[in-house]
């Protein structure tokens, strides 16, 4: 990947950097800084990607493609290459040390190891107006392209893939008034509650709970096109939570 060499004497030049942060306790809210990995040369390009998840149910008798059901947005992704060069002996970290910092950013931090939820550091990509991306390092691939006569790496190109950490929480404590989003299945010809329960939860016997949650009195007379709410698996085994789910389903049907 082409790179633009930086001039450290330029007062107007903004250097790209990866800030390493302690994992936060709240989604999207990182902890304090624990280090940084600077770009020796600013990237000439980077790639940002955003996608959504859709699901289709295949129908053998259908003459056209089945309708797709929106499942929700997926995490934003950022990929960039970092170029490290020590041919001039500029001092500071060597090429190997800089690459090792990237590799270490995929391992749990010291503080998180002492907790019940060890986690790799969160990362904030900072470069001009593109400074709002907070995520984690998904992968690092290093290619050493130049060596000294003694075999010391003098130049390397690292492909770094980042994935965002969503700001909105997923599962919440039911007592706080919020629950995780639930999937919705639209009934089609030939559907049975037992089949849906087996596909979603691995047990056909869960059809009774689905019928109860969705207010279905006669499971043998399912109407194609009717939405069936699918609670999370752990909600099915918590009676108090199911009460809340039933209320939400009832309100949605009004």
Same domain, 48 and 24: yes
Residue 65 placed within a domain = yes
Q: Rounded to an integer, what distance in angstroms lies between the CA atom of residue 68 and that of residue 178?
A: 27
**pLDDT tier at 27, thresholds 50, 70, 90:** low
Residue 51 placed within a domain = yes
Q: Are 191 and 226 in contact (CB under 8 A)?
A: no
Same domain, 180 and 151: no
pLDDT, residue 203, reads 82
Query: Last residue of a domain, which of 140, 164, 188?
Result: 164
Mean pLDDT of the 191-201 span: 86
* Residue 83 burial by Cβ neighbours in a 10 Å radius (0-12, 13-18, 19+): buried
Same domain, 78 and 113: yes
Same domain, 224 and 146: no
pTM: 0.59
Same domain, 138 and 225: no
Same domain, 197 and 157: no
Ranges assigned E (strand) in the chain:
3-5, 17-21, 33-38, 41-43, 47-49, 52-56, 68-73, 77-85, 122-126, 133-147, 153-164, 183-186, 227-230
Residue 169 placed within a domain = no
The string of pLDDT tens digits covering residues 72-119 is 888 899 999 999 999 987 667 899 999 999 999 999 999 888 887 899
pLDDT, residue 246, reads 55
Supply the range of the domain harboring residue 228: 174-252
Helix (H, G, I), strand (E, B) or coil at 148: coil
Of the chain, the percentage scoring pLDDT greater than 90 comes to 36
Q: Are 28 and 7 in contact (CB under 8 A)?
A: no
> Domain count of the chain?
2
Q: Are 123 and 21 in contact (CB under 8 A)?
A: yes
The string of pLDDT tens digits covering residues 152-190 is 999 999 999 999 987 654 444 433 333 344 567 888 888
Q: Are 55 and 69 in contact (CB under 8 A)?
A: yes
Same domain, 108 and 139: yes
Residue 239: CB atoms within 10 Å? 8
Query: Last residue of a domain, which of 130, 164, 198?
Result: 164
Between 238 and 58, name the one with better pLDDT.
Answer: 58
Kindly list the distances between the CA atom of residue 73 and the CA atoms of 7, 51, 55, 70, 142, in Å, as whole numbers in the listed order: 40, 6, 12, 9, 30
Residue 48 placed within a domain = yes
Same domain, 130 and 223: no
Query: Last residue of a domain, which of 131, 164, 197?
Result: 164
Assigned token pair, 86: 């020590």
Q: Are 4 and 42 in contact (CB under 8 A)?
A: yes
Between 139 and 203, name the one with better pLDDT.
Answer: 139
Same domain, 183 and 129: no
Same domain, 179 and 91: no
Query: Residue 239: which CATH number?
Result: 3.10.350.10
Same domain, 179 and 145: no
Q: Are 160 and 137 in contact (CB under 8 A)?
A: yes
């Amino acid at each position: 990947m082409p790179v633009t060499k930086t001039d450290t004497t330029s007062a107007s030049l903004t250097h790209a950097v990866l800030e390493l942060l302690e994992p936060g306790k709240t989604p999207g809210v990182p902890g304090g800084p624990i280090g940084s990995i600077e770009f020796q040369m600013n990237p000439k390009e980077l790639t940002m990607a955003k996608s959504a998840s859709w699901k289709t149910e295949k129908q053998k008798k259908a003459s056209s493609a089945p309708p797709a059901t929106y499942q929700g947005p997926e995490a934003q992704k950022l990929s960039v290459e970092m170029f490290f060069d020590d041919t001039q002996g500029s001092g500071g970290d060597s090429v190997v040390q800089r690459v090792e910092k990237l590799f270490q950013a995929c391992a749990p931090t010291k503080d998180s190891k002492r907790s019940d939820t060890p986690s790799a550091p969160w990362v904030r990509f900072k470069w001009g107006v593109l400074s709002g991306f907070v995520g984690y390092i998904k992968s690092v691939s290093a290619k050493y392209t130049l060596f000294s006569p003694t075999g010391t790496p003098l130049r390397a190109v690292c492909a770094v893939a980042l994935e965002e950490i969503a700001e909105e929480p997923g599962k919440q404590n039911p007592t706080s008034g919020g629950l995780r989003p639930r999937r919705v299945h639209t009934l089609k010809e030939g559907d049975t509650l037992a089949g849906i329960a087996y596909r979603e939860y691995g047990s056909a016997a869960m059809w009774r709970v689905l019928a109860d949650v969705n207010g279905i009195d006669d499971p043998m007379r399912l109407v194609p096109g009717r939405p069936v709410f699918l609670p999370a698996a752990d909600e099915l085994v918590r009676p108090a939570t199911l009460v809340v789910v039933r209320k939400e389903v009832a309100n949605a049907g009004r």
